[in-house]
Structure 1
Amino acid sequence: MSKLHFTVLIILIFYSFNIYGQKKILLTKSISENITIDGKINEEIWKTSSIATDFVMFEPDNGKPISTAKKTEVRILYDNNSIYIAATLYDDEPNKIKREITKRDVFGVSDNFSVNINGFNDGQQDFRFFVSSAGVQADCLAIEESEDFTWDAIWYSKTTITDYGWTVEMKIPYAALRFSNTKKQTWGLNFMREIKRDNQKYTWNRVDTKIGAVIPQAGILQGIENIKTPTRLFFIPYSSAYYQENDIASGTTFKAGLDIKYGINDSFTLDAIVVPDFGQTKFDNAILNLEPFEQKLDENRPFFTEGTDLFNKGGLFYSRRIGGSPITEPLIEANEEIINYPNTVNLLNAVKVSGRTEKGLGIGFLNAVTKKTYATIRDNDTNEARKEVIEPLTNYNILVLDQRFNQNSSVSFVNTNTTRNGGFRDANVSALLFDLKTKANTYNLYGDFKYSAINTVENYDGYKTELNFAKISGRYRYLLSGKYISKDYDINDLGIIFYTNYNSIAANGSYRILNPTNKFNTFKVYQEISLETQNTTGKIQEAYSITQIKATTLKNNYFELFLRINPIDRYDFYEPRELGRYVYIPKSILGYAAFVSDQNKPFTYEAETSITKFDENQRVTYMLNGGVKYRFNDKLSLAHGIQYTRKVNDRGWVDQDNTGIIFAERNREILQNDLTGKYAINNKMTLNLTARYYWSYSQNHQFLTLQDNGYLAQNNAYSLNKNRNFNSWNFDLSYSWWFAPGSEISILYRNYALESTRNVQKDLSTNFKNVFDSNLTTIFSISLRYFIDYNVVKSKF
């Protein structure tokens, strides 16, 4: 080997080691100059800053250096108020840069640049800030398992398309971050660039996909020293006006309220809502629910979605409990009827405090109070009305202590408490959680112990414990899991749980490619087996084997194949609606397939189908879902989705009388249509359309009586009409204008209707007409919220 070749080899080895084996370090500097966030990067001070470059592909071809034509350079500066980021993203074909305009936090068909900041450099949580080539912002709080895009911070950005690519300028105030109060800051830092037309993502510090953790693989930001951050105090007053009309009455409502955000220090923040108003939150998707459990609803109220990662630890917090349905129904006499029963309980106020110390201890506290709520009951003989409490004044508390260590591990304590005034039910739940990973993020041991105590007419308590061991890196990965839940474990006062009183064991394994092949960009095979046994009887309540294949082709089309086999007869302990009873479920097999076309194209489509066959009396379930979307240009798009399910000879509970528990063999159909549309006037102003029509029926053709052994016997005596026909309609047309950071004007036109009857109607057009002929409610509302920074007000006065 010549000296020249040897020298080149040494340089290549060093270069590879530098890219793949070390954390990159970017040094920033303090400034006193003013930087205008205009996307032009023309201030002289930028030329004196260090440059982060040499990006490496994250996916699909992990580890491949970025090409010279797509060179990316990023600079960071700071002062006592904010950090400033300038990125130059070269592109040899700037006319091909994708730049669809969307509303905030929605990733359309656009190139993106993001910065990931971990102010504690603990390898466990990022504050991520994204800017698309169209100038649309997105931000989230990220832990290893998920990204929370409901969190919204106040920050500034601007992009410019150039003849050599595009540029980004960002200003992120310290109020949008969390970090320790040390004089010399060391932050975890990474940048990501997404080139949408190639479906490629690049990061500054390489993220090796063989390792089962992304956040610990960030680089380092150094140089921030002796900053004197301003007071973090923000007021968000809002006012709204509603006009509502239905077949019975109409009326106008005015509301006003205030949100407060206060930075106790650089690590901890207090959020409070003084007078809540959630009138413009997304509607709930009502369904025909024939299951023994309540329908679990999504949370759409900002206070309960923003920055709640600490409170969601352990799965003990279901925020829809706060301000949800009343917990009791009044007892009435034969001559009485309920003439007013509120569906929800009013929230009076709520406050949360959260943050993390420089030693890694996260502390979260949430408190909410709901109003005393009454039902109105009328005496039909005297026509007099009385009121009865159906939900007392109630206080909800959550406390979380979460200690992080070793850049990837944590131990947590969670307590939830529900206290109701008077003799109503109270509850307390505590949990100890642990999540331990090896230094190289190869293996993971995690689990919990949870204890619930209920104070009611008859006090009871219960517990749940779980232990998991997993290999979380490499092409081959696996998980071994065991769980035990006692009969009286109950978290439903502030959490949600359906199944208790069982133990389970499970194992899964998977194989994935880490770099593209000549056929696939991504490919993964997954296998799982699980067995659940009911504690009291020792009967099997669940047993299955799952095989799943997921892949993305070189043309960016996605497909999935799924097979689930239930090879053992099982028993359902909840469908009978009576403690100690159970019903037999036969063996079954489910096959599923899905396809999604390349989402970068103007016209995209997707389809999925499944068949579930039971070993019982021609019992089968068919499912077919599909959707199409057309992007007319970067501003306008429309999408339509349809979901159809047909259940033949389905079996389920319908009633209970003096002869026993009554089931029915029945046919069911479910049809849902969703229409969504978007017109972006610019990256701060959008029109959005959401429409949903849902129809479902259940038609019984044979009644059955549940036997003590769990099997069903024919019942020819029962003859009540227990059929169901259900229609639901929702329509939202909204205009949103973010006229200043954190400040929004929104206008909403909404109408909705529900129709539920015992008479099954199988004609779709008739059902659609019937739901509009029912009590259609129309709402028109205007809402204004304005973000006020205490420091800005202070400087003016």
Structure 2
Amino acid sequence: MKFKYIILFFCALTSAKSMGQESTGNKIPKRIYTTKKLKNTPVIDGDISDVAWDVVEWSTDFTEKSPDEGTEPTHQTKFKVMYDAKFLYIAIRALDEEPDLIQQRLSRRDGFAGDRVNVIIDSYHDKRTAFVFTTTAAGVKGEEIATGNGDNWDASWNPIWYTNAKVDAKGWTAEMKIPFSQLRFGNAKEQIWGFNVVRNIFRKNERSLWQRIPNDQSGFISEAGELHGLINLVSQKQLEIQPFTVLQYDNYPKEVGNPYRDGSDFKLNAGLDAKIGITNDLTLDLTINPDFGQVEADPGAIALDGFQIFFREQRPFFVENKNIFDFEFANGRDNLFYSRRIGRNPHRSASLQTGEFANEPINSTILGAAKFSGKTQSGWSIGVLESVTANEYAEIHEVEGKTREEIVEPLTNFFIARAQKDFNKRNSFIGGIFTATNRNLDGNFNELHKAAYSGGLDFQHNWHNRDYFLDGNIIMSHVLGSKEAITATQETLRHNFGRVDASHVNIDPTRTSLTGTGGRIEAGKNGGGNWRYNGGFIWRSPELELNDVGFLRQTDEMIQFSNIRYLWQIPTKTYRDIQVRFNQFTTYDFEGNQNKSQIELQGNVNWINNWWTELETGYIPVVYGNAYLRGGPRWRFADEKYIALFFGSDRSKKMSFTLGYVNSTTDESVNNFKRYVFRMNYQPFDAFSMSINTEFEKARNKTQYVAESDFNTTKRYVLGEMDNQTLSTTLRLNYSLNPNFSIQFYGQPFISRGRYSNFNYVNEPTAKSINDRVSMYSSNQISLENDIYSIDENLNSITDYTFEKPDFSFVQLRTNLVARWEYIPGSELFFVWARGGSTNDNPRHSLSRSLKNQITNDKIEDTFLIKATYRFVR
């Protein structure tokens, strides 16, 4: 009944005040700013009274973007632009009648906190890509690359440029000095660039733009104004060389008898990164023996369904310009290029005899990597990446005191080539990608693919002022290897060729290759008026395989989807904006089985006081899993209903919070799930901020997969009732002495505990009722001794099969304390203390006791690291 009232509530929202939500409907004329060459060079100290700025005029008349689009902002903004042979200079005057209320919040680079201005430069003038330079009222710099016409903002880009800011009686001012070597542009006599300036008044959560962009307009970069007057610019080809040195000391518990775990290690490492401008719009990046020691640890996670977990890339070399190489071909994380495959942990562990110890590498060594990337004036976006990882060996200490080496990872070459071409006045593009992974197996590693190739084509077309779109892609993969390797691939959970009741797939042990396809086609409306909608189709064939250098979670799937949204974009006395969304999708396998059908209703409200509310409810009447029984028959899950409610306070205040609640229930209470979320951000003074994110999940599943056993001439798929509780807390503390020196603490305790009871086995896997799907073991059929369950199913006093007690308690602690000093632009010193470890605790313990045990146990490891870089720039 509660779902009925929720739907009626949203229907009422959709009809309320719709007459007042009219589209602007008019194309906004492009504004033009004409710059001039400077006569004197200004000092970049934030003070714009320097006479050097007098050669150009101010431009103003900003228009509010949010909350009340199209109106006069609370305070106006002015700017000037001038240039010389090597630099672009920008002065900004942010007027404010209450300068004492200006938020001068210090943070690390790219913190984007407090009052700020963003200068958006589309120097390619492709109307889809832009360089974004940000200065806050505290003088903190930030920079991003915006792609996809403003859909994606990548803050990993760290160019060398100069800025400063000051607060005065009229508001605050900022100056920027941007080297042309950090931008990409053509060789026309007069450059015409896309250009916009965005101001954010933090305390009011108000954004205003120099070039007005209505909220119903699809696209952001394409709608920017223009910067004229850049005459006879000479290409400043970039040349940067950045060597680094790392000192690392590890301290850990000594392991008796193990010569490789004597309590401490000391390492000295060095490497080199370089950036070379091949042309004025294409760059070659090189790295030799890269170090990623200061990278933040991955968050804690555990996969109960057996599928791979996606972790985001954090290593600087691979993060920068990653948008050029991305080829996300379906929904979610599926991508032909997943850079974390490069330098991954070795595929093998050392084979040890009794009394032997091994020193095993944690990651594959990246001998070197190079990427050639950029975008040309003619609309070509190009990316080529080449990387080689080394043969990796484990050193084994034998009982007699001798040592031997055993290879655990082969020499591997990774190659990725990506290209896109804009046309139709930048309203359309077509592109492609090719990836290749080649391993030097040298008669070893029969379990690995010798080679893996993938390729794809993608396209997009926008029309009617970019309101409507059609886009899609098609991909193909081909992997080669020994019979053992290809058989192992067929048996993986993502392919599941051995499923006993499948007629369209089967394991062929004689095969030495697999070839598969996938893709997506989608069309819809992205702008204009208050309605948005889209729909499409996705497929992944059973033989598709991308995981040598891509990410693919599951195959054998076809998905039909559709979405529709209605937007309220004009503020009232109650709210700033509202949107309501209805989603629907259905999935099938390649045998024609319908595996899932889902409908969902979502509502988002930003209230007039900057608080916000999100409500979501859904119903899943059809749910089957082809892989749930790990090669067993297709399994039917119980019908599911769920609701999620999140709300939060004004994020511009010194303290803000988010509370969230998710509740999912199924028929016959087979699988119930609850999730509680608390997030808080607090900045008591400008130099210090903290955030905490705590999540607690509680799930009870009466049919959690446990094991597979043989019983007479049949298979038994053993399930159990699992009580799973997961608790994680992420704490971040940031203290900034100034924009170039900061101290950051990151800490995350994580625990996931599962206790099993009421074991049962699969009877009729696709029956509607749980009472028909499974049969319970009686107390006479099951017994436990030494953490082994024994089953006497036919009660003849003879054990028919056994399985291990599946209870678990995984506990992990990760902390990082990092001091970062950018002592000159582009050159940094890092001081890092990392502390943490993971263990399996007693599942009978409470969550709090398990966390306490992990924090205080003697297996915690410490790493102390000093990293120094120096960037040589020509």
Shorter-chain TM-score category?
A: over 0.9
Q: Are the equivalent residues in 1 in contact too, given 2:39–2:52 (CA < 8 A)?
A: no
Match of 2:626 in 1: 573
Shift of residue 566, structure 1, vs aligned partner:
0.3
Bigger CA drift: 743-752 or 30-39? Answer: 30-39
Match of 2:472 in 1: 447
> Structure 1 residues 723, 74: CA separation in 2 closer, same or farther (over 3 Å shift)?
same
Match of 1:601 in 2: 653
Structure 1 length as normaliser, TM-score?
A: 0.92
CA displacement 1:418-465 (0-9 Å, x = unmatched): 111135411101010001100401100000010000111220110012
Residues of 1 paired with 2:559 and 2:440: CA distance?
Answer: 38
Residues of 1 paired with 2:689 and 2:50: CA distance?
Answer: 38
Match of 1:118 in 2: 122
Shift of residue 149, structure 1, vs aligned partner:
0.5
Match of 2:733 in 1: 677
Residues of 2 paired with 1:133 and 1:563: CA distance?
Answer: 41
Q: Match for 1:410 among 419, 422, 429?
A: 429
Shift of residue 518, structure 1, vs aligned partner:
2.1
Shift of residue 128, structure 1, vs aligned partner:
0.5
Bigger CA drift: 427-436 or 697-706? Answer: 697-706
> Structure 1 residues 618, 417: CA separation in 2 closer, same or farther (over 3 Å shift)?
closer
Q: Give 1:683's aligned amino acid.
A: P
Residues of 2 paired with 1:402 and 1:555: CA distance?
Answer: 43
Superposed, 1:75-86 pairs within 5 Å as 75-86=80-91
Match of 1:287 in 2: 301
Q: Give 2:479's aligned amino acid.
A: I
Bigger CA drift: 714-723 or 199-208? Answer: 714-723
CA displacement 1:244-300 (0-9 Å, x = unmatched): 100022021111111101111110011111121111111112323322112211211
Bigger CA drift: 776-785 or 286-295? Answer: 286-295
Shift of residue 763, structure 1, vs aligned partner:
4.9
Match of 2:748 in 1: 692
Match of 1:45 in 2: 52
Match of 1:310 in 2: 324
Shift of residue 60, structure 1, vs aligned partner:
1.4
Pair 1:714 & 2:776 matched? yes
Q: Match for 1:271 among 251, 275, 285?
A: 285
**Aligned-partner SS, 2:744:** strand
Q: Match for 2:695 among 634, 643, 668?
A: 643
Match of 2:503 in 1: none
Shift of residue 539, structure 1, vs aligned partner:
2.3
Residues of 2 paired with 1:706 and 1:377: CA distance?
Answer: 44
Q: Are the equivalent residues in 1 in contact too, given 2:764–2:774 (CA < 8 A)?
A: no
Q: Give 2:122's aligned amino acid.
A: N
Runs of 5+ consecutive residues of structure 1 not aligned to the other structure: 1-16, 791-797
**Aligned-partner SS, 2:325:** coil
Match of 1:541 in 2: 595
Residues of 2 paired with 1:80 and 1:459: CA distance?
Answer: 56
Bigger CA drift: 744-753 or 764-773? Answer: 764-773
Q: Give 1:93's aligned amino acid.
A: E
> Structure 1 residues 393, 776: CA separation in 2 closer, same or farther (over 3 Å shift)?
same
Pair 1:322 & 2:342 matched? yes
**Aligned-partner SS, 2:849:** helix
Pair 1:654 & 2:659 matched? no
Bigger CA drift: 768-777 or 676-685? Answer: 768-777
Residues of 1 paired with 2:62 and 2:323: CA distance?
Answer: 30
Q: Are the equivalent residues in 2 in contact too, given 1:26–1:51 (CA < 8 A)?
A: no
**Aligned-partner SS, 2:340:** helix
CA displacement 1:346-384 (0-9 Å, x = unmatched): 11111111012221011110111111123466888x897
Shift of residue 333, structure 1, vs aligned partner:
9.3
Runs of 5+ consecutive residues of structure 2 not aligned to the other structure: 1-23, 255-262, 329-334, 483-511, 767-772, 783-790, 792-801
> Structure 1 residues 379, 235: CA separation in 2 closer, same or farther (over 3 Å shift)?
closer
Shift of residue 167, structure 1, vs aligned partner:
0.8
Match of 2:794 in 1: none
Q: Match for 2:407 among 362, 367, 389?
A: 389
CA displacement 1:182-235 (0-9 Å, x = unmatched): 222110001101111111101111111111211110001111111223341111
> Structure 1 residues 683, 268: CA separation in 2 closer, same or farther (over 3 Å shift)?
same
Structure 2 length as normaliser, TM-score?
A: 0.84
Q: Are the equivalent residues in 2 in contact too, given 1:87–1:167 (CA < 8 A)?
A: yes
Match of 1:564 in 2: 618
Shift of residue 411, structure 1, vs aligned partner:
0.8
Match of 1:664 in 2: 720
Pair 1:485 & 2:540 matched? yes
Residues of 2 paired with 1:683 and 1:333: CA distance?
Answer: 51
**Aligned-partner SS, 2:324:** coil
Superposed, 1:329-344 pairs within 5 Å as 339-344=358-363
Residues of 2 paired with 1:689 and 1:379: CA distance?
Answer: 41
Shift of residue 736, structure 1, vs aligned partner:
1.1
> Structure 1 residues 439, 689: CA separation in 2 closer, same or farther (over 3 Å shift)?
same
Q: Give 1:628's aligned amino acid.
A: M
Shift of residue 722, structure 1, vs aligned partner:
1.3
Residues of 2 paired with 1:759 and 1:351: CA distance?
Answer: 47
Residues of 2 paired with 1:666 and 1:230: CA distance?
Answer: 63
Bigger CA drift: 83-92 or 284-293? Answer: 284-293
Residues of 1 paired with 2:309 and 2:356: CA distance?
Answer: 26
CA displacement 1:711-757 (0-9 Å, x = unmatched): 44435414521111111011111211111111111111110010114
Q: Match for 1:633 among 668, 685, 696?
A: 685
Residues of 2 paired with 1:185 and 1:590: CA distance?
Answer: 54
Q: Give 1:689's aligned amino acid.
A: F
CA displacement 1:372-400 (0-9 Å, x = unmatched): 123466888x8976544332100111101
Superposition RMSD on alpha carbons, in Å?
2.2
Bigger CA drift: 526-535 or 306-315? Answer: 306-315
Superposed, 1:158-557 pairs within 5 Å as 158-248=164-254, 249-314=263-328, 315-328=335-348, 339-375=358-394, 387-405=405-423, 406-422=425-441, 424-425=448-449, 426-457=451-482, 458-473=512-527, 474-536=529-591, 538-557=592-611
Q: Give 2:107's aligned amino acid.
A: T
Q: Give 2:145's aligned amino acid.
A: L
Aligned-pair identity in percent equals 27
